[in-house]
Copies of this chain bind each other. A is one copy, B any other.
Amino acid sequence: MSKKNNNDKLSIFSLGGVAEIGKNMYVIQYANDIVVIDAGLKFPEEDMLGIDIVIPDISYLTENRDKVRGIVLTHGHEDHIGGLPYVLKNLNVPVYGTKLTLGLVENKLKEANLLGETKRILIDADSEIQLGSTLKATFFATNHSIPDSVGVCVETPEGNVVHTGDFKFDHTPVNGQFADLQRMAQIGARGVLALLSDSTNAEKPGFTPSEKSVGEVLDDIFSKAEQRVVVATFASNVHRIQQVMNAAYNTGRKVTIIGRSMVNVVGIASDLGYLEVPDGLIIEPEEVNKMAADRVVILCTGSQGEPMSALTRMARSTHRKVDILPGDTVIIAATPVPGNEKYVGRTIDELFRLGANVIYSRSNSGVHVSGHGSQEELKLMLNLMKPKYFIPIHGEHRMLRRHALLGESVGVEHENIFLIDIGDVVEIQNGVARKAGKVQSGIVLIDGLGVGDVGNIVLRDRKLLSQDGILVVVVTLSKQDGKIVSGPDIISRGFVYVRESEGLLDEANRIVSSTLEKLMSEKVNEWASLKTNVKDSLGRFLYEQTRRRPMILPIIMEVN
């Protein structure tokens, strides 16, 4: 590591993942060396109509592209790697990740035609990587709801900055991949300048149960089920999938896998040795109907009630290959992400109506545990690391705040805890930290192939259109005398049933005509003025009649 220059500073900030859940991206910079931790995506808020995904604004990184030494990935979840294809298109830098993480990334880069040009560097928990002349990263194994997750320790001339990634402490992990308490303690013993730690479950008291507890419940359900068992869970939850495989094996059932992302992850995880699948356990969906019902497990996507997912299609009897049969046991091994409760509820109802017995998290069934540590685990991490400065990350503002209180409760000084928003820079120089302004940060909306071509005006229009629809008013005026030659014709979409509202639209027509005629008689003939007047008078009339405010688009043309 190069010698410390007293004018240089350490900067820590987030481009995504604080005061929000998702699109995680953290930046650690010392002098001319920048390391980026994670590059996630986020699903749109309910007011981002028509948007597919949201990624961080990376202007800061592209403006400093010659300083970016690499992107270090903590694990393979979408909110940590899903933004990579978009980031790498603008910033061709090396990507560091563990085996499973890179396996998932490669799939993504292939789809985006970026695989060839991206330098991918495999790390494990024992790796040490030099990033430019001043930064070095080491790693420590953690537990999370996907294998091969790590935390990162970035050694800087100012001291060590630890980023936990997502984590829990699972003392009986499914794959024997224990969290490396010894290394964490060692890092803590050497001294941690700043800790960035996962706040997702900071509001939950106690300890998060071990993933293994789910396995016991699955064994029990599988052995009691008299007919087929259907399990929906997150495709990326390889531990959960392993436990489904185990329970199937233990109870003499075969497993079929339904849903694109589930097939994809099972393939990658098996190839890389993260899933142990006994020979002959997996069967094709087509074989299911030939088997006795009590010999079958269907493992599928759709635990969030996503409209196009495998389980949702089965629940609606629109799946090409699998029908739900009366007496089937359906396990939804996940909790609904906030915002998805209604979708999940609808799927459960539809499954019940088909005669299935549905086991889901609301019924306190033990078929799901979180991948994030609760309050006692967060305190354990704080006490292992004993940081001087603490920056809660990964969570809505209230969760960061709760995590800050936990930090105080274990002895971190109140003034050494930084509650940050995206872009807020925490600067550390000569061991002293302070908030030091903001770098450019924000969101980039992705809609279809468009990256960033939809912004506030387009969203505002979509919102307006979604509420009360649109009226297009077409009228042709004579160039000679300004008289109406044809129209006004009114075409509406999303406003009212036209057939039932003829009277209303006829009257609207008359209002447009008389507005224009009045303006003509007053010799007002600037187009902008004509349009504004038509909009105003028609809008006022429609609001009085209907209490609705559709968008009004006047199209006025002139002919000879």
Chain A positions near chain B (C-beta within 8 angstroms):
19, 45-46, 49-50, 203, 205, 338-339, 341-342, 345, 348-349, 352-353, 358, 362-364, 396-398, 401-402, 447-450, 453-455, 457-459, 461-470, 472, 474, 476, 485-486, 489, 491, 493-497, 500-501, 545-548, 551, 553, 555, 557, 559
Q: Are A450 and B49 in contact (CB under 8 A)?
A: no
Cα–Cα, bound, A456→B46 (Å): 21
Tell me whether A458 and B352 are in contact in the complex, defined as CB-CB below 8 angstroms, given that A338-B345, A548-B450 are known contacts.
Answer: no
Q: In the complex, how many angstroms separate the beta carbon of A531 from the nearest chain B beta carbon?
A: 11
8 A/B residue pairs, CB under 8 Å, sorted by A: A46-B342, A50-B468, A203-B363, A338-B341, A339-B341, A345-B398, A352-B398, A557-B557
Distance in angstroms from A86 CB to nearest chain B CB is 15
Structural contact, B463 and A398, CB atoms closer than 8 A: no
Q: Is the CB of B401 within 8 A of A352?
A: yes
Identical copies in the complex: 2
Is A497 touching B342 in the complex (CB atoms < 8 A)?
no
**B-side contacts of A496, CB under 8 Å:** 450, 453-454, 458
A474 to B352, CA, bound (A): 51
Compute how far the CA of A455 lies from the CA of B559 in the bound complex, rounded to whole angstroms: 38
**Bound CA–CA A413/B469 (angstroms):** 51
Are B453 and A500 in contact, CB atoms less than 8 angstroms apart? yes
Report Cα–Cα, A497/B557, bound state, in Å. Answer: 24
Q: A46-B342, A470-B470, A474-B555 are in contact. Are A455 and B352 (CB under 8 A)?
A: no
Question: Contact between A398 and B555 (Cβ–Cβ < 8 Å)?
Answer: no
Cβ-closest 5 pairs across A and B: A448-B547, A466-B466, A465-B465, A461-B494, A349-B397
Closest residue to A449 on the B side, CB-wise?
Answer: B547
A398: B residues at CB distance < 8 A: 345, 348-349, 352, 358
Cα of A118 to Cα of B342 in the assembled complex, Å = 37
Contact B493 A465 (CB under 8 A): yes
Partner of A557, one of B342, B453, B476: B476
Name the CB-closest residue of B to A544.
B449
Smallest CB gap from A474: residue in B? B555
Q: Known contacts being A342-B45, A398-B348, A547-B449, is A491 close to B553, with CB within 8 Å?
A: yes
Contacts of A339 in B (CB 8 A): 341-342
- Considering the chains assembled together, what is the distance between the CA atoms of A447 and B469 in angstroms? 12
